[in-house]
Structure 1
């Protein structure tokens, strides 16, 4: 391997990584990652799409903050020193590694500071766990660059009374030479020549090109204008509803104990409506041992939904609604069913289409 004199997490280090293929990208390139596709990685490296900003991710921040502690823990357990260095493959300099540490015998040590849930899964499932499978590829990449016979994969949550899980990773020469290196070099060439891999419609973003891009811009402008007008009308409607509620409250107050009033062109009827049954609570109380999977046969067909998010200057948050029990129930239901997303600074419109079966991934 060829050692590269760079300090990790510096601008020069980021530029060096961007010009090659790194160990952390290997599982994505091979199509083994559930978190990112080869097309998305290609799009980010060619500038077609912006990468996700993980700088404020608490798990990423914690991993960076505790990496030195995890490194020291390994050094103490194995009476060795780990050297965090950057290196390139001797024959294929596009293959690049930022090692968490190399032992005195140049064995790579990959340190992970996982969340408790991940650690529990690795402790329970071992080499069959998702995390192990992803990072096994990463260590094989490091073994290829370091020209080492074995390496280490360590899951250390750096928590009191929680032990580190250590795996010795033996070099898989067949996998490295026949699958890993060819795929990574081919991907690097695709990035260099801007040869787009086939996107996955279920996981990747649609990027309009040519005439479609012009149509997209026109429709997006139409949507923004309609959204701005809708907000004005919604605010006006909200004001009228507030006036209606105020007048109704006053009329009911004037009626006293009477249930009916019919004066001029206005009729007011007070009545009591029976509350609905909370079937979820009733089912839990009446049949606490019911297997939830039995309810799946009674589930209505899934419906496809569309969420449109306005980003930028037009994304003004809507005025807050009064906090009522009904609104809290509605909000809780929406949070339970909606996909996770940070829409705190964006305007979101969600549309329900006609029910039809959809695929899950």
Structure 2
């Protein structure tokens, strides 16, 4: 391998990483990551999309803060020293690593300081856990670049009286030579040529191009205009409903103990309505061991929901909130009324979960650049 004289997390280091394929990207490239797709990674590395900002993620911050302690702990347990360096493959310089540490014999050590959920999963399931399977690919990549016969994967909570979970990972030559390296080199060629990997419609973002982009802008402008009008009308409606409620309360107060009034074209009826049955609580009482599959057999058809968020709407910025409109549409079912709500904090992008979904879990697993 070729050592590269760079300080990790420096601007120069970020540029160097962006121009190559790194160990932390290997699982994504192979399609093994539930958090990011090959297309999304390609789009971020080619500048088509902006990467998610994880700098304020508490898991990321904790991982960075505790890395030195985790490194010292490994050194003490194994009576060695670890050198955090950046390096490129001698054979394929496009393959790059930022090692948490290399032992005196050149073995890579990948240090993770996971959140409690990830720690519990690794402690319970070991090599079958999601974190281990993702980082196993990363360590194989590191063994390839370092030309090492084995590496180490360490989950260290950096807590007193809690022993780290250490895994010795042997180099798997067939996997590296037949699957890992070819896939990473193909991905590097796609970066250079601008040819995108096949996107996943269920996980990747639609990015309109050419005429589609022009049409998208036209419809987006129409949506913003209509949304602003809806906001104005809703504000006026809210005021009128307030007047309606005040007048109703006054009429009811005038009626005293009477239940019915009909005067001047206004009829007021006071009545008592029975409360609804709490069916989940009822089922828990009469059938606590009910098989979930029985409930699924009686579930109504699912619906497709659409949520539109105006991220940079000037009116929303003034109010310190994004505007959302959610419309439910289902085949064979009438569409439900649009629901509108306000949020004080903007919602993370879909791919930060990438959605997925579970952004906190993503931060828990993928807490750094390594």
Q: TM-score, normalised by structure 2?
A: 0.87
Which residue of the other structure, out of 322, 327, 343, is the alignment partner of 1:346?
322
1:60-107 Cα shifts (integer Å, max 9, x gaps): 111111111111111111111111110111121111100000001110
1:189 positional shift: 1.2
Is 2:261 the counterpart of 1:261?
yes
**Which residue of 2 is the match for residue 18 of structure 1?**
18
**Which residue of 2 is the match for residue 78 of structure 1?**
78
**Which residue of 1 is the match for residue 351 of structure 2?**
none
Structure 1 Cα separation of the partners of residues 17 and 86 of structure 2: 10
Structure 2 Cα separation of the partners of residues 356 and 86 of structure 1: 58
1:266 positional shift: 1.0
- Cα distance, 1:112–1:356 mapped onto 2, change above 3 Å: farther
Structure 2 Cα separation of the partners of residues 265 and 82 of structure 1: 87
1:132-143 equivalences under 5 Å are 132-143=132-143
1:120-131 equivalences under 5 Å are 120-131=120-131
Gaps of 5+ in 2: 334-355, 357-370
**Which residue of 1 is the match for residue 202 of structure 2?**
202
**Which residue of 1 is the match for residue 343 of structure 2?**
none
Structure 2 Cα separation of the partners of residues 75 and 8 of structure 1: 20
User: After the TM superposition, which of the residue ranges 118-127 and 140-149 deviates more from structure 2?
Assistant: 118-127
Contact 1:224/1:314, CA 8 A, preserved across alignment: no
- Residue aligned with 1:50, SS: coil
Structure 2 Cα separation of the partners of residues 356 and 135 of structure 1: 45
- Residue aligned with 2:250, SS: helix
Q: Which runs of 4+ in 1 moved over 4 A?
A: none
Contact 1:33/1:134, CA 8 A, preserved across alignment: yes
Contact 1:302/1:356, CA 8 A, preserved across alignment: no
1:356 positional shift: 7.2
1:124-158 Cα shifts (integer Å, max 9, x gaps): 21111111111011001101111111110011122
Contact 2:302/2:330, CA 8 A, preserved across alignment: no
Structure 1 Cα separation of the partners of residues 21 and 162 of structure 2: 34
Structure 2 Cα separation of the partners of residues 161 and 126 of structure 1: 20
Structure 2 Cα separation of the partners of residues 265 and 4 of structure 1: 86
**Which residue of 2 is the match for residue 329 of structure 1?**
none
1:275-304 Cα shifts (integer Å, max 9, x gaps): 111111122122233333331111111111
- Residue aligned with 2:330, SS: strand
Q: Which has the higher contact order (CA 8 A, sep 6+)?
A: 2
Structure 2 Cα separation of the partners of residues 229 and 63 of structure 1: 46
Gaps of 5+ in 1: 320-343
Q: TM-score, normalised by structure 1?
A: 0.89
Contact 2:313/2:322, CA 8 A, preserved across alignment: no
Contact 1:67/1:111, CA 8 A, preserved across alignment: yes
Structure 2 Cα separation of the partners of residues 350 and 236 of structure 1: 21
1:161 positional shift: 3.0
1:317 positional shift: 7.4
1:182 positional shift: 1.3
Contact 1:304/1:356, CA 8 A, preserved across alignment: no
Structure 2 Cα separation of the partners of residues 41 and 73 of structure 1: 33
1:157-186 Cα shifts (integer Å, max 9, x gaps): 222333211111111111111211111111
1:296-332 Cα shifts (integer Å, max 9, x gaps): 111111111001111113461798xxxxxxxxxxxxx
RMSD: 1.7
**Which residue of 2 is the match for residue 61 of structure 1?**
61
User: After the TM superposition, which of the residue ranges 101-110 and 66-75 deviates more from structure 2?
Assistant: 66-75
**Which residue of 1 is the match for residue 161 of structure 2?**
161
**Which residue of 2 is the match for residue 95 of structure 1?**
95
Structure 2 Cα separation of the partners of residues 137 and 204 of structure 1: 22
